[in-house]
Structure 1
Amino acid sequence: MSGDAGLWCDRLVRGLGQHEFDLYALSRSRRQEDEGWLPLPPHVSRVRTAPLWTAEQDGPAYGRRARRRFAESYGELAAVLCAGPGVGGPAGHGSDGAQDTDGPDGPDGSGRMADRFGSALYGLAELARDEGGLAGALRSDSAVRTLERACRTPGAPAAARAARVPDLLAVAAHLERALRPLSLDWYGDDGLGAADLCHATAGGPAALPGLLARHFGDVPLLVTEYGVPLRAHYLAAGPDAAGPAVRTLLAAFHGRLAAEVYGRAAIITPGNAHTRRWQERCGADRSRIRTVHPGLEAGRFTEVGEAPDRADPDTLVWVGRAEPAKDLVSLLHAFAEVRKEEPKARLRVVGAPAGPEGRAYLGHCKALAAQLFPDEADGAHAVGDNPVAFEEIGGPEAPTLADAYASGSVVVLSSVVEGFPVGLAEAMLCARATVSTDVGAVVEVIGGTGLVVPPRNPRALAEACVALLRDPERRERLGAAARARALELFTVEQNITAFHGIYLEIVSHCPVRRVVLDEAGEPLPFAAPAEAHVPGRWTGPTTRGASRGGPGWALGVPPRPAPVRATPVTAPEGAR
């Protein structure tokens, strides 16, 4: 695992030593696998992995009956995709922003379409279980012809009807990659089928193992999202990435899959209100949503947070991955305005590029900085002392992440796209005053302890930075308030405590699934404690139990040695 998602999963598993875990990992690149394995605690029973970045062999050849079953299920899937997305978000609304439907079975039959999508998905999964896999069928000419027939059906979207052969091949290839978890051998009684709870640490295709464990074994599903895969798909599949037909069909697939995941989950735990709004727009029942903020290790920022006077009062700091979404260009233009008002001001850009695109972007930013701030003797700095410095963590000026935040009095976030701003929470733990753009969950994280400006507005960004540079008492007040808020909401401890309660809440409303055997191999009566419920009226069956903290929350359910046996994990390559 890599990136913030990997760190979160690792901290959660290590922090819940009273539970027994099996880890099921879906890797998305060779780079992830080459990064090696972490030593695991003793309560992790086993780890099973599946590489989704490489195609398997075609598998067994289907007979006539199996081919007919595939044609029926895949044809139904294609027909649903050609009926439109049916959920919220950019692709699920009309031009006036109103939702396409007004209920579970709205005017366009969205509820019926959801049932058809689920029927097709689980039909393919059952075929994969019975026949040994789907790889060959999903890559076959028959799959492409099935997509073509669905696109030519009367009533299909105009973009789908215009699909050409390259478009159909691209869509079929994407569906084959996304549906690879259906062919895994994880869902029997020796795998996910024996779990008490399946915790999917991401939505979208990564949640497919959890969906199938629920379908085949009725294992309750918990879905955690710190970013919304559907939103990420919309951002990635822009006009430059694919044509209209491909974007339309894939938006429909990911929209339907998101709705299926949210509809089948016992509880959904977004990491912030921004993610929660996306989930509700995509059909998630708000009564089953519990917001659980990510947990950061506060200890490594304690020394800096308790000694804020270490900061250079004239220095602004930016920390993160160098990529276009972080909008360093606007930050550099804003800093040019700051220098006009505060000639002694300096800017430190600390972070590594994200892949080839990031390296090219960072090179562009360095060239822009050289153009905006030519070396000159201005009375404040000597010739050759550029006020903008580009550094990486581990260098002499920023040996650790905490040292990077400690070097400046104001931390700046200039992003145009952001989910949960981890770097902002880290700056808060360091008791730093912050200036941020109003994107993603920034306002929710800041909570009034920093200044927030519109994105892509260098002038507003510059004015906020100047205001804090000129007012040390205000910086100190905001920094202290920010650290107090981060310690209350964004630590590993609060994250682990919240999930422990959610695990018990889910398991308390599900039957004990495990049969414990004695030394002779015979069932051991009363080895698993009976579950107890508080007498009274419970909520409806779709809520899967009372809300956390309400009557009967985890009452009578001692922390059994193994209420959690499976955690499907996908480890996105993203870092900060």
Structure 2
Amino acid sequence: MRIGLLTEGGHPYVSGDAWLWCERLVRGLEQHEFDVYALGHGPHQDADGHRVPLPPQVRRVRTAPLRTAEGPAYGRRARRRFAECYEELAGAVCARAGAAGGVPGAEEPGTPGSLADRFGSALYGLAELARDKGGLAGALRSDIAVRALERACRAPRALCAAHEARVSDLLTIAAHLERALRPLSLDWYDDDTLGAADLCHATTGGPPALCGLLARHFCGVPLLVTEYAVHLRTHYLTSGPHTAAPAVRAVLAAFHGRLAAEVYRAAELLTAGDAHARRWQERCGADRARIRTVYPGTAAERFAEAAEPALRTDPGTLVWAGQVDPAKDLETLLYAFAEVRREEPKTRLRVLGTPAGPEGAAYLGHCRTLAARLFPDAAEGDQPVSFEETGGPAKQTGVADAYAACAVAVHSGGAEGFPAGLVEAMLSGRATVSTDVGAVAEVIGGTGLVVPPHDPRALAEACVALLRDPERRARLGAAARARALELFTVERNTMAFHGIYLEIAARCPVRRGAPDEPRPFAAPAESLVPGHWTGPEDHAQPRGVPAWAADSTQPSVEEAR
């Protein structure tokens, strides 16, 4: 099969959160051909030095950094057409949803005049205009767009918060929608690009999924969408009260909700990284029957040595490893460790991680200060808490060595998607103590201790219980490794997507191309008829017909067998 792989800031460039997963997927499915379409936001995509070496199955790579560009000048008829489509889009976004629960985009499409159908019709109308006129960039930033947004926000059935939108808010909304709709102006939607693919695989929600949506609309290519972090949830988490005015947040949340619902409606299949992400997809309008859960894969061989039972285990060391940011709630871990030290004075805590940007660096400094305040009597050079920054090649060996030398792996967090660091601890065969957030309980599955979040006492009690019971640690660690090897390896992830590719190709209609072009599943499967087949001397017998079938006298059932 030929796969159009749609990425954002990731493969084939060493950037973004999904690049490693995409790299493993492409290399693991060498029986397929891949055309990679990479969206991005910076000039680094033009530099070959940031591109990973590509395997032979990747036929070509096309990039489109989503920067602001000047659009074509429209004539009167094109401006009128744009105004109609954009006004319909703005009206569908700003109107109050009539679905139960009030989630934007969750109402049932298909009813005459439904908001979902209005949004989809306007979106594809804008895409067709962009295709005919060479882009939308100038029009999306024009006064026509701002005035259409103003009318939609002032409409009687508009969102309550939208009624309060000021001119500055309308300009902010228009700018955000212009960025979100930039994929409509790409030249990827014809028979020489995405139209030549047998399947489009968007490796995340948002702009890549929008590209797949347009490939389906223009070329009939089936769409598969993978969300390890649900795009709409990420938007909600990053759009707090401090980021924008209430009117801006309400309208943009409605837009992303409508877009997610349209993507979920059009995709042949959706894959979620865990049950937590799957529930988000269902809540936002996805059909449960078209969702598959495919866990992220972790390279198990990196932790094979750490899983050896007698390898340098320090019975008095706790380890936390991951990306450092406020969502990881290291403060709760430090307060819990202070209680652990009161029960087990010789215990030590190692914190391994890389700060996530400036905010993560500031949070790491805050945690260092808190640790010094909690343990003021520690001797110089003998601090019970150590902070070790890891990143790049160091992470490949440093984390595995830390797990090998510890007794218990601790996973604390206040908000969590799929806990990749927890899976690494499980592959290392270590007993774990985790807070019950996101998909943690689903991943652990009874092979570790799970406590409520933001509860230092409960976290401390669980750690002490395992520190005092080595047999229980060994039993839980062995069970955790067995579960991780069964569910969370790279090979398991890759083969799951191979099966999904075949499932989609088998049930989608074959698109007729060139006469000599191979088409998967275009011919019915051949069956093997049991019996004695002809030898090389039987030249007169039709090819593929067994000897008994050519004889005038038919054998019995037993002879045929």
TM-score by length of 1: 0.85
Distance 1:396 1:279 in 2: 36
Matched, 1:64 2:114: no
Report the counterpart of residue 276 of structure 2 in structure 1. 274
Report the counterpart of residue 92 of structure 1 in structure 2. 103
Per-residue CA deviation, residues 380-420 of structure 1 (Å, 9 max, x unaligned), is xx444110100022699995331132232111111111111
| Residue correspondence of structure 1 range 35-54 to structure 2 within 5 A | 36-52=50-66, 54=67
Per-residue CA deviation, residues 239-275 of structure 1 (Å, 9 max, x unaligned), is 1111110111011001111111110000111111111
Q: Determine helix, strand or coil for the equivalent of 1:319.
A: strand
Report the counterpart of residue 548 of structure 1 in structure 2. none
Report the counterpart of residue 117 of structure 2 in structure 1. 115
Q: CA deviation at 1:167?
A: 0.9
Distance 2:34 2:25 in 1: 11
Choose from 514, 517, 522 the match for 1:530. Answer: 522
| C-alpha spacing 1:124/1:30, structure 2 compared with 1 (3 Å) | same
Distance 2:299 2:86 in 1: 46
Report the counterpart of residue 509 of structure 1 in structure 2. 507
Report the counterpart of residue 345 of structure 2 in structure 1. 343
Amino acid of the structure 1 residue aligned with 2:437: V
Choose from 407, 410, 428 the match for 2:408. Answer: 410
Report the counterpart of residue 538 of structure 2 in structure 1. none
Q: CA deviation at 1:180?
A: 0.7
Amino acid of the structure 2 residue aligned with 1:122: Y
Report the counterpart of residue 95 of structure 2 in structure 1. 83
Amino acid of the structure 2 residue aligned with 1:338: V
Q: Determine helix, strand or coil for the equivalent of 1:189.
A: coil
Amino acid of the structure 2 residue aligned with 1:389: S
Using CA pairs below 8 Å that are at least 6 residues apart, which structure has the higher relative contact order? 1
| Residue correspondence of structure 1 range 535-554 to structure 2 within 5 A | none
| C-alpha spacing 1:396/1:481, structure 2 compared with 1 (3 Å) | same
Distance 2:253 2:97 in 1: 6
Q: CA deviation at 1:184?
A: 0.4
Matched, 1:482 2:460: no
Distance 1:525 1:349 in 2: 56
Q: CA deviation at 1:300?
A: 1.0
Distance 2:112 2:387 in 1: 51
Greater CA drift, 34-43 or 11-20: 34-43
Report the counterpart of residue 463 of structure 2 in structure 1. 465
Distance 1:5 1:127 in 2: 32
Kindly indicate whether the alpha-carbon contact (under 8 Å) linking 1:26 and 1:49 is maintained by their aligned counterparts in 2.
yes
Report the counterpart of residue 231 of structure 1 in structure 2. 233
Distance 1:435 1:16 in 2: 35
Per-residue CA deviation, residues 58-117 of structure 1 (Å, 9 max, x unaligned), is 22101111111110111011101111356788x628xxxxx986x557xxx798111011
Q: CA deviation at 1:146?
A: 0.9
Kindly indicate whether the alpha-carbon contact (under 8 Å) linking 2:297 and 2:491 is maintained by their aligned counterparts in 1.
yes
Kindly indicate whether the alpha-carbon contact (under 8 Å) linking 2:71 and 2:139 is maintained by their aligned counterparts in 1.
no
Aligned length: 512
| C-alpha spacing 1:129/1:527, structure 2 compared with 1 (3 Å) | closer
Kindly indicate whether the alpha-carbon contact (under 8 Å) linking 1:78 and 1:146 is maintained by their aligned counterparts in 2.
yes
| Residue correspondence of structure 1 range 289-308 to structure 2 within 5 A | 289-307=291-309
Unaligned runs of 5+ in 2: 1-9, 528-561
Amino acid of the structure 1 residue aligned with 2:59: S
Q: CA deviation at 1:50?
A: 1.0
Kindly indicate whether the alpha-carbon contact (under 8 Å) linking 2:390 and 2:398 is maintained by their aligned counterparts in 1.
yes
Per-residue CA deviation, residues 314-344 of structure 1 (Å, 9 max, x unaligned), is 1111111110000111111111111111111
Kindly indicate whether the alpha-carbon contact (under 8 Å) linking 1:104 and 1:111 is maintained by their aligned counterparts in 2.
no
Q: Determine helix, strand or coil for the equivalent of 2:225.
A: strand
Q: CA deviation at 1:204?
A: 2.3
| C-alpha spacing 1:372/1:265, structure 2 compared with 1 (3 Å) | same
Choose from 131, 143, 155 the match for 1:129. Answer: 131
Greater CA drift, 385-394 or 65-74: 385-394
Amino acid of the structure 2 residue aligned with 1:15: G
Distance 1:111 1:343 in 2: 68
Choose from 430, 441, 446 the match for 1:432. Answer: 430
Q: CA deviation at 1:311?
A: 2.2
Q: CA deviation at 1:157?
A: 1.8
Report the counterpart of residue 374 of structure 1 in structure 2. 376
Q: Determine helix, strand or coil for the equivalent of 1:73.
A: helix
Distance 2:265 2:46 in 1: 32
Per-residue CA deviation, residues 259-299 of structure 1 (Å, 9 max, x unaligned), is 11110000111111111001111111111111111111111
Distance 1:315 1:33 in 2: 46
Kindly indicate whether the alpha-carbon contact (under 8 Å) linking 1:350 and 1:390 is maintained by their aligned counterparts in 2.
yes
Q: CA deviation at 1:152?
A: 0.6
Distance 2:42 2:519 in 1: 42
Kindly indicate whether the alpha-carbon contact (under 8 Å) linking 2:97 and 2:115 is maintained by their aligned counterparts in 1.
no
Distance 1:334 1:111 in 2: 56
| C-alpha spacing 1:260/1:534, structure 2 compared with 1 (3 Å) | farther
Distance 1:485 1:312 in 2: 24
Q: Among the aligned pairs, what percent are the same residue?
A: 70
Per-residue CA deviation, residues 217-253 of structure 1 (Å, 9 max, x unaligned), is 1100011111101001111111111111011101100
Kindly indicate whether the alpha-carbon contact (under 8 Å) linking 1:87 and 1:282 is maintained by their aligned counterparts in 2.
no
| C-alpha spacing 1:29/1:421, structure 2 compared with 1 (3 Å) | farther
Distance 2:269 2:367 in 1: 43
Amino acid of the structure 2 residue aligned with 1:21: F
Amino acid of the structure 1 residue aligned with 2:208: A
Per-residue CA deviation, residues 431-485 of structure 1 (Å, 9 max, x unaligned), is 0111111111111100000111111111111111111111111111110000000
Instruction: Give me the CA root mean square deviation.
Output: 2.4
Kindly indicate whether the alpha-carbon contact (under 8 Å) linking 1:88 and 1:282 is maintained by their aligned counterparts in 2.
no
Distance 2:172 2:100 in 1: 24
Report the counterpart of residue 571 of structure 1 in structure 2. none
Choose from 433, 444, 447 the match for 1:446. Answer: 444
Per-residue CA deviation, residues 504-536 of structure 1 (Å, 9 max, x unaligned), is 1111123443645xxxxxx4387766343899x
Kindly indicate whether the alpha-carbon contact (under 8 Å) linking 1:374 and 1:386 is maintained by their aligned counterparts in 2.
no
Report the counterpart of residue 22 of structure 1 in structure 2. 35
Report the counterpart of residue 166 of structure 1 in structure 2. 168
Choose from 178, 199, 202 the match for 2:201. Answer: 199
Kindly indicate whether the alpha-carbon contact (under 8 Å) linking 1:85 and 1:251 is maintained by their aligned counterparts in 2.
no
Report the counterpart of residue 320 of structure 2 in structure 1. 318
Greater CA drift, 67-76 or 23-32: 23-32
Q: CA deviation at 1:198?
A: 0.5
Q: Determine helix, strand or coil for the equivalent of 1:320.
A: strand
Q: Determine helix, strand or coil for the equivalent of 1:344.
A: coil
Report the counterpart of residue 569 of structure 1 in structure 2. none
Q: CA deviation at 1:166?
A: 1.3
Distance 1:21 1:525 in 2: 16
Greater CA drift, 129-138 or 310-319: 310-319
Which structure's CA Rg is the greater one?
Answer: 2
Q: Determine helix, strand or coil for the equivalent of 2:354.
A: coil
